[in-house]
Chain A
Amino acid sequence: MSLTSYFLQQLINALSIGSLYALVAVGLAMVFGILRLINFAHGDLMMIAAYIATFALMSHIPLPIALIMMMVGTVMVGVLMERVAYRPIRKAPAVAALLTSFAVGQILQNSTLLVSRFAQQPVQIAFPQIDFLRGVVTIGDLTVSKVNIASLVIGLGLLFLLNQFITRTTLGLSMRAAAEDLQAAQLMGIDTNRVIVTAFAIGAFLASIAGLLYAVQAGTVNPDMGFTPVLKAFIAAVIGGFGSISGAVVGGYALAFLEVLLTAIPGLGDILPAATTSPSVISFFKTYLPGSLSSYRDAFVFVILIFLLLVRPGGILGTTDREGRQ
Chain B
Amino acid sequence: MAQTLKSNLQRNGFLILLGGLLLMIIGLESSGSSLWQGIFINLGLYIILVVALNLANGFTGVFSLGHIGFMALGAYISAILTLPLAQKRSYLPNLPAWLATMHFDTMIGPFPLGFLLATLIAGIIVMVVAFLVGGVLMRLSGSFVSVATLGFLVIVRVLLVNSSNITRGSRTFSNVTGYTDMWWVYIWVIIALFVIWRIKFSSFGRAMFAQREDIAAAESVGIVIMRPRLLAFVISAFFTAVAGALWAHFLTSFSPNAFYFDITFRVITMLVVGGMGSVTGSVLGPITITVIAEFLRRIEDSTRLYGISQIILASLFIFIIIYRPGGLMGEREIDFGWFWRRGRPSKPAFEGGGEQPSKT
Say whether B314 contacts A95, CB under 8 Å.
no
Interface segment, one of A69-77, A98-106, A169-177? A98-106
Residue of B nearest to A322 (CB): B141
Residue of B nearest to A113 (CB): B307
Say whether B142 contacts A322, CB under 8 Å.
yes
B residues lining the A interface (CB < 8 Å): 63, 136, 139-148, 150-152, 154-155, 158-159, 161-162, 261, 265, 268-269, 272, 304-308, 310-311, 313-315, 317-318, 321-322, 325
Say whether A114 contacts B162, CB under 8 Å.
no
Give, as a whole number of angstroms, the nearest-CB distance from B196 to chain A.
20
Say whether A231 contacts B154, CB under 8 Å.
yes
Once A38-B147, A299-B159 are accepted as A-B contacts, the answer to whether A99 and B272 lie under 8 Å apart by CB is yes
CA distance A145 to B293 in the complex (A): 46
Residues of A within 8 Å of B144, CB to CB, are: 38, 234, 238, 242, 309, 324
Residue among B159, B265, B307 making CB contact with A111, cutoff 8 Å: B307
Say whether A95 contacts B146, CB under 8 Å.
yes
Once A99-B272, A302-B154, A322-B142 are accepted as A-B contacts, the answer to whether A227 and B261 lie under 8 Å apart by CB is yes
Say whether B318 contacts A104, CB under 8 Å.
yes
Say whether A303 contacts B151, CB under 8 Å.
yes
CA distance A310 to B140 in the complex (A): 6
CA distance A322 to B140 in the complex (A): 8
Contact indicator per residue, chain A 26-42, by CB within 8 Å of chain B (1) or not (0): 00000000001010100
Say whether B154 contacts A299, CB under 8 Å.
yes
Residues of A within 8 Å of B268, CB to CB, are: 99, 102
Residues of B within 8 Å of A106, CB to CB, are: 265, 310-311, 313-314
Say whether A305 contacts B142, CB under 8 Å.
no
Residues of A within 8 Å of B305, CB to CB, are: 114, 117
Residues of A within 8 Å of B143, CB to CB, are: 36, 38, 94-95, 98, 324
Residue of B nearest to A238 (CB): B144
Say whether B148 contacts A96, CB under 8 Å.
no
Within 8 A of B (CB), among A232-271: 234, 238, 242
Task: Tell me whether A85 is interfacial, beta carbon within 8 Å.
Answer: yes
Max chain A C-beta neighbours (<10 A), residue from B140, B152, B322 = B322
Residues of A within 8 A of B (CB-CB), count: 47
CA distance A103 to B158 in the complex (A): 24
Give, as a whole number of angstroms, the nearest-CB distance from A298 to chain B.
5
Identify 10 new A-B residue pairs, CB closer than 8 A, beyond the known A231-B151, A296-B158, A310-B140.
Answer: A40-B147, A103-B265, A114-B311, A117-B304, A295-B162, A296-B162, A305-B151, A309-B148, A323-B142, A324-B143
Q: List 20 A-B contacts (CB under 8 A).
A: A38-B143, A38-B144, A88-B322, A92-B325, A94-B143, A102-B268, A103-B314, A103-B318, A103-B321, A106-B265, A106-B313, A109-B310, A111-B307, A231-B147, A295-B162, A303-B151, A306-B136, A310-B140, A323-B141, A324-B144
Max chain A C-beta neighbours (<10 A), residue from B136, B143, B158, B159 = B143
Say whether B308 contacts A298, CB under 8 Å.
no
Once A107-B311, A296-B162 are accepted as A-B contacts, the answer to whether A302 and B151 lie under 8 Å apart by CB is yes
Residue among B148, B307, B314, B322 making CB contact with A306, cutoff 8 Å: B148
CA distance A90 to B138 in the complex (A): 26
**Closest CB pairs A-B (n = 8):** A302-B151, A110-B307, A94-B143, A299-B158, A324-B142, A106-B314, A113-B307, A110-B310
Once A94-B143, A306-B151 are accepted as A-B contacts, the answer to whether A104 and B321 lie under 8 Å apart by CB is no
Task: Tell me whether A89 is interfacial, beta carbon within 8 Å.
Answer: yes
Residue among B162, B265, B325 making CB contact with A102, cutoff 8 Å: B265
Residue of A nearest to B143 (CB): A94
Residues of B within 8 Å of A324, CB to CB, are: 142-144
CA distance A33 to B318 in the complex (A): 23
Residues of B within 8 Å of A89, CB to CB, are: 321-322, 325
CA distance A254 to B155 in the complex (A): 20
Task: Tell me whether A292 is interfacial, beta carbon within 8 Å.
Answer: yes
Say whether A310 contacts B136, CB under 8 Å.
yes
CA distance A102 to B313 in the complex (A): 12
Residue of B nearest to A99 (CB): B268
Residue among A96, A102, A113, A298 making CB contact with B306, cutoff 8 Å: A113
CA distance A242 to B306 in the complex (A): 37
Say whether B321 contacts A298, CB under 8 Å.
no
Say whether B147 contacts A98, CB under 8 Å.
yes
Say whether B141 contacts A117, CB under 8 Å.
no
CA distance A224 to B264 in the complex (A): 15
Residues of A within 8 Å of B155, CB to CB, are: 299, 302-303
Give, as a whole number of angstroms, the nearest-CB distance from B90 to chain A.
25
Max chain B C-beta neighbours (<10 A), residue from A85, A95, A98, A305 = A95
Say whether B314 contacts A104, CB under 8 Å.
yes
Residues of B within 8 Å of A113, CB to CB, are: 306-307
CA distance A89 to B324 in the complex (A): 11
Residue among A109, A299, A310, A323 making CB contact with B139, cutoff 8 Å: A310
Task: Tell me whether A203 is interfacial, beta carbon within 8 Å.
Answer: no
Task: Tell me whether A211 is interfacial, beta carbon within 8 Å.
Answer: no
Residues of A within 8 Å of B311, CB to CB, are: 106-107, 110-111, 114
Max chain A C-beta neighbours (<10 A), residue from B142, B146, B268, B315 = B142
Give, as a whole number of angstroms, the nearest-CB distance from A307 to chain B.
9
CA distance A169 to B354 in the complex (A): 62
Residue of A nearest to B322 (CB): A88
